Amino acid sequence: MSPATVSRVLNKPELVEPETKERVRGAIKALDFQPSAIARGLSVQRTDTIGLVVPGITDLFFGELYRGIERASHESGMKVLLFDAQHARHRAFEGFTFLRQHRVGGIIFTSKVVSEDYDPVLERIGIPVVLALTEATGRTALPAFKVDDVKAVFDAVAYLVSRGHRRVGMITGDMSDDLTGDLRLQGYRAGLEHYGIPYQSSWVETGDYRFTTGYQAMRRLLEHQEQNQLTAVCAASDEMAIGAIRCLHDHGLKVPDDFSVLGFDDLGVAHMTVPALTTIAQPFAEIGERAVQQLVQMIADDTIHASGTYYLPHRIVERESVRALSDLS
- Catalog residues that contact a copy of itself under the rule CB under 8 A: 1-4, 6-7, 9-11, 23, 25-32, 34, 37-38, 40-42, 45, 57-58, 60, 63-64, 66-67, 70, 74, 79-84, 86, 98, 101-102, 211, 239, 242-243, 245-246, 249, 268-269, 271-274, 276
When the beta carbons of 191 and 256 are compared against a copy of itself, the nearer one is: 256
| All residues at 6 or more sequence positions from 193 whose CB lies less than 8 Å from its CB, including other chains | 199
DSSP 275-293: SPPEEEE--HHHHHHHHHH
**Interatomic CA distance for residues 14 and 16, integer angstroms:** 6
CA atoms within 13 A on the CB side of 215: 9
- Helical (H) or strand (E) element with 158: helix 149-162
Minimum CB separation of residue 148 from a copy of itself in Å reads: 25
57 to each of 72, 94, 253, how far by Cα in Å?
Answer: 19, 16, 34
**Burial annotation 214-248 (CB, 10 A radius, 16+ → b, else e):** bbbbbbebbeeeeeeebbbbbbbbbbbbbbbbbbb
When the beta carbons of 193 and 257 are compared against a copy of itself, the nearer one is: 257
When the beta carbons of 6 and 324 are compared against a copy of itself, the nearer one is: 6
Minimum CB separation of residue 101 from a copy of itself in Å reads: 8
When the beta carbons of 269 and 306 are compared against a copy of itself, the nearer one is: 269
When the beta carbons of 64 and 149 are compared against a copy of itself, the nearer one is: 64
Minimum CB separation of residue 162 from a copy of itself in Å reads: 27
When the beta carbons of 103 and 165 are compared against a copy of itself, the nearer one is: 103
Minimum CB separation of residue 194 from a copy of itself in Å reads: 33
Minimum CB separation of residue 268 from a copy of itself in Å reads: 8
Q: What is the phi-psi region of residue 328: left when phi exceeds 0, alpha when psi lies from -120 to 50, beta otherwise?
A: alpha
Minimum CB separation of residue 76 from a copy of itself in Å reads: 14
